[in-house]
Amino acid sequence: MIFTEECKDAILRGNIDQARDLAHKVLDEKLDVNNAIDGFSLAIREAGDLFEEGEFFLPELMRSAEAMKAAMTIFEPVLKERKEDRSLGKIVIGTIEGDIHDIGKTLVAAMLSAEGFEVHDLGADVPISTFIDKALEVDANLICISALLTTTMVGQKKLIDSLKEKNLRDRFKVLIGGAPVSKQWVKEIGADGSAENAVSAVKLAKKLIES
């Protein structure tokens, strides 16, 4: 099997050990790291496509994402040393304060990370200030806020208001999501968009960061 085929195989099968071994092999044999990452990325994109087509199930997709992450973790120090930034952008994500619904947020985070974003997942029940502090600390491009309750959804607005107050609104794009979030709410609070599921969240994030 040629190397990129092997990468694809490891990711699509969700074989974490194999993905790790391949990554080590790249480093040990001094192969081209960028080429290898391209190979892995192609595979994870295919996993996403397969999921959208209904060929792949969620556990398979999540496992592919984990295999991808395992390989990337091995490449990370090398990339850092070479001062190469392969990430599509930096994202801070979490479920807002008072709200512990985290499954949807975790799916979105996993897909963003698998797609090649650097994702800082703050978990659930996250205070507004923590979102902002973290975004400043890592110099994020995008803040993603999940809220599943109408009462906590207000936190999405507060976060954006707080960014405005601090004159930071232009520094970060803000995506929001969760069951109660409507197009109208996005407009009302001045967010940059929302998405109904993890796959469209990734597409939107890419579009926003490219623009």
Partner 1 sequence: MRPNIKILEDEIKEKVFVEAMEILEEIGFFVENQEAIEILQEAGLNVDVENRRVKLPPDLVKKSLQSAPSSITLFDREGKEVTKLEGDNICFDPGSAALNVLDPETNKIRTAVTKDFIDFTKVVEQLEHIHAQSTAIICSDVPEVVGDRYRLYLALIYSKKPIVTGTFAKESFEVMKDMLIAVRGDEKELKNKPLAIFDACPSPPLKWSNLTCQSIIDCAKYGIPSEFVSMPMTGANAPVTLLGAIVQHAAETLAGLVITQLVSPGAPVIWGGSPAAFDMRKGTMYLASVDTILIDLGYTEIGKYLNLPTHAYLGMSDAKILDMQAGFETGMGTLLAGIKGVNMISGAGMMNFESTQSIQKVVIDNEIAGMTFKFINGIIQRDEPIAKNLLKVFQEKTHLLAHDHTLKWFREELYLPSEVVDRSTKEEWISKGRKSIGDRANEQVKKLLKKYPGVTLDRDILSDISEIIKYKDNDFRSKLDI
The residue ranges that bind ligand B12 (CB under 6 A) are 99-105, 107-108, 144-146, 148-150, 175-180, 194-198, 201
In angstroms, give the least distance from the CB of 139 to ligand B12: 19
Q: Whole-angstrom Cα distance, residue 36 to residue 151?
A: 46
- Options 198, 201, 202, 204; binder of partner 1; rule CB under 8 A: 198
DSSP state for residue 174 in the 8-state scheme: E
Q: Which residue has the tokens 């996403």?
A: 48
142 binds, among ligand B12, partner 1, none (CB under 5 to 8 A by kind): none
What is the number of other CB atoms lying within 10 angstroms of the CB of residue 47?
26
**Which span (20-28, 53-61, 63-71, 112-120) binds partner 1, by CB under 8 A?**
53-61
Residue with Cβ nearer partner 1 (136 or 179): 179
Which DSSP string do the residues of 51-62 spell out, in sequence order? HHTTSS-HHHHH
Residue given tokens 């209904």 in the structure block: 54
| Closer residue to partner 1, CB minimum distance, 23 or 153 | 153
Q: Which does 59 bind (CB under 5 to 8 A by kind): partner 1, ligand B12, none?
A: partner 1
**Cα gap 170→164, rounded to integer Å:** 8
Among positions 27, 180, 193, 200, the unique one binding partner 1 when judged by CB under 8 A: 180
Q: Which residues contact 178 (CB under 8 A, 6 or more apart)?
A: 95, 101, 104, 105, 146, 147, 148, 153
Which residues contact partner 1 (rule: CB under 8 A)?
54, 57-59, 98, 100, 103, 107, 125, 149-154, 179-180, 182, 184, 197-198
